[in-house]
Amino acid sequence: MYAAPGQPRPAYEKLHAALSKLTGAELRGRVDVVARTYLDAGVTFDIGGEERPFPLDVVPRVITAQEWSEVEAGVAQRVRALEAFLEDVYGPQTAVRDGVIPRRVVTSSAHFHRAAAGIEPVAGVRVHVSGIDLIRDERGEFRVLEDNVRVPSGVSYVLENRQAVSQVLPEPFLAQRVRPVHDYPRRLLAALRATAPDAEADPNVVVLTPGIFNSAYFEHALLARTMGVELVEGSDLVCHGGRLWMRTTSGERRVDVVYRRVDDEYLDPVHFRADSMLGCPGLLSVARAGNVTLANAVGNGVADDKLVYTYLPDLTRYYLAEEPLLRNVDTWRLEEPEALEEVLDRLDELVVKPVDGSGGKGLVIGPAASRAELDVLRQRLIADPRGWIAQPVISLSTIPTVIDDKLAPRHVDLRPFAVNSGDEVWVLPGGLTRVAMPEGQLVVNSSQGGGSKDTWVIGDDATPPRPSRRPARQAQMAGPDLAPDDARGEQQQQQQQQRHQQRHQQRQQGCGERTC
């Protein structure tokens, strides 16, 4: 937020001015309101079976129009590159043939599913929804930290955070034009419908959830509710006759698009884990027959494998003939012997991550790890170099965060969300800013106790102002005086009653005038 001590960066000036007026106690009060609101509204995140309010810091992050246009273009480009890569990987594999990415990198990915080969998605969309994690390095440049094109979560918190923060911090919110985020469900539904097997014939979209014990159940319910579609569990679905159906009170109803929030491995016990009760047997066959759209497509995980990630810049140039707009974080591929050797020498200064992990699981931060931990890690890297990547420790940018009634800097990242309808990759103006709550901590994942912030993308000055509202017609809004205290008053009241009755009769006759 600050350019120099006490000197807010231009983007933060209005926010800073508004926050400076608040005392510690006032700040605390607003923090409490948010916490209570989230608890009452059930905006929760499950950790180990326990529902907790999703942690939200009231101080928003501000992104200027200029900065955002770079992020927006970069993310959209990234999604197009990922789509092209997936289409190629499950098709002709020209990138492999042309030597852009080694075959073994693709085939050894844990999420490369042969079951997905040959499934031709409608409009070529496999990445309907994506969350591209970005960080800002020391120089203020946005870099891609990782791609999430399986079942990225968090967008519901973007919607909820906006509501909560705009309510408790109306002052800075009103002082500038913050681009709204409420369009997301409508965009998502439109994209899902556009990619239905028969998009013309009023397709039936559902959201598939593993159930209430899933950590992101709140999000699944919110998306279904805001899109106005059914939220189904595996047991509600059944496949027969080459189609997917859901069980309703009036028999079975056909399903055309499944926005599934169930991982590949649990989606169809016929093809994947036979013991899974979360998916629907036969679902993949129906998808292969082209009779149902799965969003996101099966097998997408190969594209967000963290080793494949290192090839994305090259793949972008290869498929799109464009220079990547967002740079990767420098990364060592441990399966290359020289890289492995170097990383093993410098384990105590690097971050090491499993290639197929998510939610910060298995990640080791060298400077923070003990000698014993590093020894264990060393053995694991030698045993399975394909399973890991290493990155330099990047000092993520910080944003003031409320810690014990005061503001203190905490590290943040940013997950913008993109929706692909086949015609267009749309990036939600905002995204989830995640913040690491312990001091100096670099891991921001919610499953690791991280918090979140509302992300304000400031509208371009070129955006036309909204039409001002018409002034309220107060005279006509006022009700009759109901407390007359003298005879004259009573008379008035009677007259008023008569008028009311007349109006009522008129309205019943269908010719009443509108009063407000």
* Contacts with another protein, 153-192, as mask; x by CB under 8 A: ----------------------------------------
Task: Output the smallest distance, CB 212 to another protein, in A.
Answer: 6
Residue 262 Cα distances to 38, 266, 289, 297, angstroms: 25, 6, 20, 11
How far is 105 from 93, CA to CA, in rounded Å?
12
Region of 15-23, 108-116, 237-245, 481-489 interacting with another protein (CB under 8 A) = 237-245
* Span 277-336, contacts to another protein by CB under 8 A: 277, 281-282, 285
How far, CA to CA in Å, does 408 sit from each of 137, 139, 398, 404, 433? 19, 21, 9, 9, 16
Residue 230 as a binder of another protein (CB under 8 A): the answer is: yes
| Residue written as token pair 């441990």 | 334
Which 3 state secondary structure label does DSSP give 430?
coil
Cα distance between the two ends of the chain:
46
Q: Does 34 bind another protein (CB under 8 A)?
A: no
Beta carbons within 8 Å of 115's beta carbon, 6+ residues apart:
271, 272, 284, 298, 299
The stretch among 33-41, 96-104, 147-155, 174-182 that binds another protein (CB under 8 A) is: 33-41
Q: Which of 104, 182, 186, 247 binds another protein (CB under 8 A)?
A: 247
Comparing CB distances to another protein, the nearer of 285 and 328 is 285
Q: Shortest gap between Cβ of 39 and another protein (angstroms)?
A: 6
Quick count: other Cβ atoms within 10 Å of Cβ 145?
21
Strand duo 417-420 + 129-136: pairing? antiparallel
Residue 244 binds another protein, judged by CB under 8 A: no
Per CB under 8 A, the list member of 97, 114, 240, 254 interacting with another protein is 240
Q: Is 224 in the site for another protein (CB under 8 A)?
A: yes
**CB within 8 Å of 254: residues ≥ 6 apart:** 204, 243, 244, 245
Considering only the stretches 247-255, 339-347, 371-379, 406-414, report the one whose residues sit in contact with another protein under the rule CB under 8 A. Answer: 247-255
Nearer to another protein, 52 or 327 (CB): 52
Residue among 249, 370, 476, 509 that touches another protein (CB under 8 A): 249
Half-sphere exposure of 195 (CA within 13 A, CB side): 30
Which residue of 82, 239, 267, 343 would you call a contact of another protein, by CB under 8 A? 239
203, 180 Cβ separation under 8 angstroms: no
Binding of another protein by 20 (CB under 8 A): no
Question: Which residue number, 184 or 332, has a Cβ lying nearer to another protein?
Answer: 184
**Quick check: 408 and 436 in contact, CB under 8 A?**
no
26, 35, 141, 277 from 21: Cα distances, Å: 9, 22, 31, 54
Give yes or no for residue 246 binding another protein (CB under 8 A). Answer: yes
Question: Which of 65, 199, 270, 339 touches another protein (CB under 8 A)?
Answer: 270
Q: Cα separation of 350 and 11, whole Å? A: 32
Binding interface with another protein (CB under 8 A): 39-42, 207, 212, 217, 221-222, 224-225, 229-233, 235-236, 238-240, 246-250, 269-270, 277, 281-282, 285
